[in-house]
Amino acid sequence: MTYVVTESCIKCKLTDCVEVCPVDCFHEGPNFLVIDPEECIDCSLCEPECPVNAIYAEDDLPK
């Protein structure tokens, strides 16, 4: 299971989540961040640090 960044991240300029990632699996898109599922080690450190609650475990994505 990996972690996923949802639409709430669009145009968010805060990088608290990126700073706690031990493997640097975040990558910048044009207006948002993405998590590389191949690099993510499922540590969950980023999820509580996201100031806009945009990060979810893949199995816990809201519908």
pLDDT of residue 2: 87
CB atoms within 10 A of CB 61: 9
pLDDT of residue 30: 87
pLDDT in tens, 5-36: 999 999 998 999 999 999 999 999 888 899 99
C-alpha span between 24 and 46 (Å, rounded): 11
DSSP annotation of 30: S
What residues make up the domain containing 55? 3-60
Instruction: Report pTM.
Output: 0.88
Residue 63, pLDDT above cutoff 90: no
What CATH number does the domain containing 42 carry? Answer: 3.30.70.20
Domain count, the chain: 1
Give SS3 for 18: helix
